[in-house]
Amino acid sequence: VEFAVTQVNFVLLGFGNVGRAFARLLLAKRGELRQRYGLDWRVVGIATGRHGAALDPEGIDLEAALALAEAGQSLASLSPVQVPATNLGLIRASQADVLFETTPVNYQTGQPAVDHLRAALEAGMHAISANKGPVVHAYRELSDLARARGRCFYFESAVMDGAPVFSLWREALPGARLLSFRGILNSTTNLILTRMEEGQSFKDAVAYAQSIGVAETDPSGDILGWDAAVKVAALATVLMDRPLKPDQVERQGIEGLTAAVVAAARAGGRRWKLVCQAERTPEGVRASVRPEEVEVGDPLFGVMGTSSAVTFHADVLSGLTLVEENPGPQTTAYGLLADLLNAVRG
Amino acid sequence: VEFAVTQVNFVLLGFGNVGRAFARLLLAKRGELRQRYGLDWRVVGIATGRHGAALDPEGIDLEAALALAEAGQSLASLSPVQVPATNLGLIRASQADVLFETTPVNYQTGQPAVDHLRAALEAGMHAISANKGPVVHAYRELSDLARARGRCFYFESAVMDGAPVFSLWREALPGARLLSFRGILNSTTNLILTRMEEGQSFKDAVAYAQSIGVAETDPSGDILGWDAAVKVAALATVLMDRPLKPDQVERQGIEGLTAAVVAAARAGGRRWKLVCQAERTPEGVRASVRPEEVEVGDPLFGVMGTSSAVTFHADVLSGLTLVEENPGPQTTAYGLLADLLNAVRG
């Protein structure tokens, strides 16, 4: 069977858990992407945080790159040409069609991801990010730039991993106006609260979340509600078209919740959850992150462990809830793939 | 401000609760559709079940049509030209750009909706239906016809009202493969079970559902699980691309559940729900509708009253649940509007 196939070249910035899961997903879906979407891909550039970089206009052997990174070795041996000294240089030299940005988030500035995405768009690439920093710090700028260049700036994985929160509104709910939303957007604190319900102390629950790679060595970004606040800001900025910065989100973390308080709620048939909310006001958006006792009938009551959820209230839909269970790096990787397919199919 | 505006002409087949809610939504969103989507609309034909029909190439006064229908009067006075004697004749004579089909469902044949939709597509119109009959009886035929004519056959409102179950997969989850789904798709039985949990007898709960217009005079289509089976068949047919007829769905209704059985489950912390399921098998799809006792951690546990929900399991997403709370005719109407906007924006 013959059909039209488009060759697209990718450059990957970041090759950690998410970047590597995306590489594996690309390999697993190679045949399907060719057959269902007429898409043939090559990775022509990879920049990693700790394993060097590679550039090959003919296409890098992605399985070899995965093997090297997982063995803790440099990718330099996969590069037949000189690799530029900076990530921006690598992006430009790659002449790729699509940039995938999965570098670590910087809550304060969104950098260096913002610069990476801008460079890609300026070079005529689609810019796809799993990073929420650029969404809260540069959504308008990067979206306007993308539109001017006829390219896409997409970031489905930035909130709720691969669950389609942004594309739901962009693609599936035209003509609806989002009035408010309420959800559980931080997996780490939800897992900690779940473990505390099961009888663990706050400290032990944090240690458990760290032991399975869900919480970071310094877990304060999650526990104090900053990660949740950034996600609320990202959703409000994009879905309500109201630029909102994380420090404009009223914020309270779960650091004050003790095992006794959590147990008392359970004894009363309720549960503590770190609840994220935002609603339109005449002046803009009012948003908050704070622990709340939720009742059994609440759509957030059953969201346990690392699962997440959001309920949308729109002018035309009184309550639409999206729940994502058991996400992982492969789910985030799917968000990047969905963005790619939505970008290239126009 | 000047911008390009496209004039689109509509013909409405069916002017009951859903058709009239859609008409009101069109009127309420007129300015927004013009400004955000460059869309100016006219309704050039309306066929009703009990209030006659109207045809006006210059555009029917939709507020007058609503007032007449709600007063129980004929729409004939709004028609400056002779109205064809049949619905098919009206569709063709309307020369509209989009047909909206909201006539009552026929589980056995999908007719006459299938004929309406086929006539519209053959005349070069987009065909949009709130009716699940044509989806289970003619999905392939109507989709192929739509593709051949460069038009769309969309039916978002056929399952879960305005919740975007079909467009989620078509627009927001490219490259994902649906492996199985499980949900509560029939509002009437879920409301009856909710009332029985509150202490009503089966008979009183049915009477209540009838009194608020949720259950029909003959509620057996809901109670015996037929409506749910048709919806399972529609989802499997479209989302798994496996044609499945309602009588291929293993089916058991809620007619055997007594107040005592419902109360016993509640005493044990569980709830009876009419659970719809389907999963891919090597041979095709295995699907069922049957009452199940669900546990507190189940995503379906908190779905009460007329709310509905579905959990999707895909190759790339382990569990994605969509819950719709408190749907009504206006939610179904929004599904028609979403289909329209997705059709005209290509």
CA distances from A37 to A33, A337, B121, B318 (A): 5, 12, 26, 23
Q: Looking at the partner chain, which of A29, A163, A173 has a beta carbon nearest the beta carbon of B164? A: A173
Mean pLDDT of B329-345: 96
Task: Please provide the average confidence, as pLDDT, over all residues in chain A.
Answer: 95
Contacts of A27 in chain B (CB under 8 A): none
pLDDT of residue A74: 97
Tell me whether A337 touches chain B (CB under 8 Å). yes
Contacts of A337 in chain B (CB under 8 A): 174-175, 316
pLDDT in tens, B277-288: 999 999 899 999
CA distance B150 to A41: 29
Tell me whether B335 touches chain A (CB under 8 Å). no
Mean pLDDT of B250-268: 96
pLDDT in tens, B144-169: 999 999 999 999 999 999 999 999 99
pLDDT of B122 higher than 60: yes
Residues 191-220 of A with CB under 8 A from B: none
Contacts of B35 in chain A (CB under 8 A): none
Residues 34-63 of B with CB under 8 A from A: 36-37
Interchain proximity B317–A25, CB inside 8 Å: no
CA distance B33 to B12: 18
> Which of B167, B173, B303 to probe the A interface (max A CBs under 10 A)?
B173
CA distance A285 to A159: 18
Q: Looking at the partner chain, which of B173, B323, B331 has a beta carbon nearest the beta carbon of A321? A: B323
**What number of helices (H) and strands (E) belong to chain B?**
13, 12
Mean pLDDT of B157-186: 97
pLDDT of residue A123: 98
Burial B215-249 (b: 16+ CB within 10 A, else e): beeebebbbbbbbbbbbbbbbbbbbbebbbebebb
Q: Looking at the partner chain, which of B176, B302, B311 has a beta carbon nearest the beta carbon of A297? A: B302
Contacts of B176 in chain A (CB under 8 A): 334, 338
pLDDT of residue B181: 98
Percent of chain B's residues with pLDDT above 70: 99
Question: Omega of the bond prior to B243 within 30 degrees of 0, cis?
Answer: no
State ipTM.
Answer: 0.95
pLDDT of residue A59: 97
pLDDT of B296 higher than 80: yes
pLDDT of B39 higher than 80: yes
Percent of chain A's residues with pLDDT above 90: 93
Element (H, E) at A313: strand A308-314
Band of residue A100 on the pLDDT scale cut at 50, 70, 90: very high
Residues 87-126 of A with CB under 8 A from B: none
pLDDT of residue A2: 52
Tell me whether B324 touches chain A (CB under 8 Å). yes
> Which of A294, A316, A326 to probe the B interface (max B CBs under 10 A)?
A316
Contact B121, B149 (CB under 8 A): yes
Task: Please provide the average confidence, as pLDDT, over all residues in chain B.
Answer: 95
Tell me whether A241 touches chain B (CB under 8 Å). no
Mean pLDDT of B20-43: 97
Interchain proximity A175–B338, CB inside 8 Å: yes
Shortest Cα distance from A43 to chain B (angstroms)?
19
Residues 146-165 of A with CB under 8 A from B: 162-164
pLDDT in tens, A12-53: 999 999 999 999 999 999 999 999 999 999 999 999 999 999
Band of residue A323 on the pLDDT scale cut at 50, 70, 90: very high
> Which of B179, B181, B303, B325 to probe the A interface (max A CBs under 10 A)?
B325
Shortest Cα distance from B192 to chain A (angstroms)?
17
Band of residue A143 on the pLDDT scale cut at 50, 70, 90: very high
Interchain proximity A175–B37, CB inside 8 Å: yes
Question: Nearest CA to A276 among A194, A183, A192, A189?
Answer: A183
CA distance A306 to B98: 44
Shortest Cα distance from B328 to chain A (angstroms)?
9
pLDDT of residue B107: 84
Interchain proximity B36–A319, CB inside 8 Å: no
Strands A53-55 and A39-47, how do they pair? Answer: antiparallel
Question: Nearest CA to A99 among A12, A7, A21?
Answer: A12
Tell me whether B179 touches chain A (CB under 8 Å). no
pLDDT of residue B2: 52
pLDDT of residue A1: 46
Residues 6+ apart with CB under 8 A from B291: B252, B253, B254, B256, B257, B272, B273, B274, B275
pLDDT of residue A108: 87
Tell me whether A327 touches chain B (CB under 8 Å). yes
CA distance A204 to A192: 9
User: What tokens does A326 get?
Assistant: 């058991």
Interchain proximity A302–B302, CB inside 8 Å: yes
pLDDT of residue B78: 97
Of all residues in chain B, the one with the smallest CA distance to A173 is B338
pLDDT of A3 higher than 80: no
Shortest Cα distance from A288 to chain B (angstroms)?
23
Contacts of B32 in chain A (CB under 8 A): 175, 177
User: What tokens does A187 get?
Assistant: 């997996």
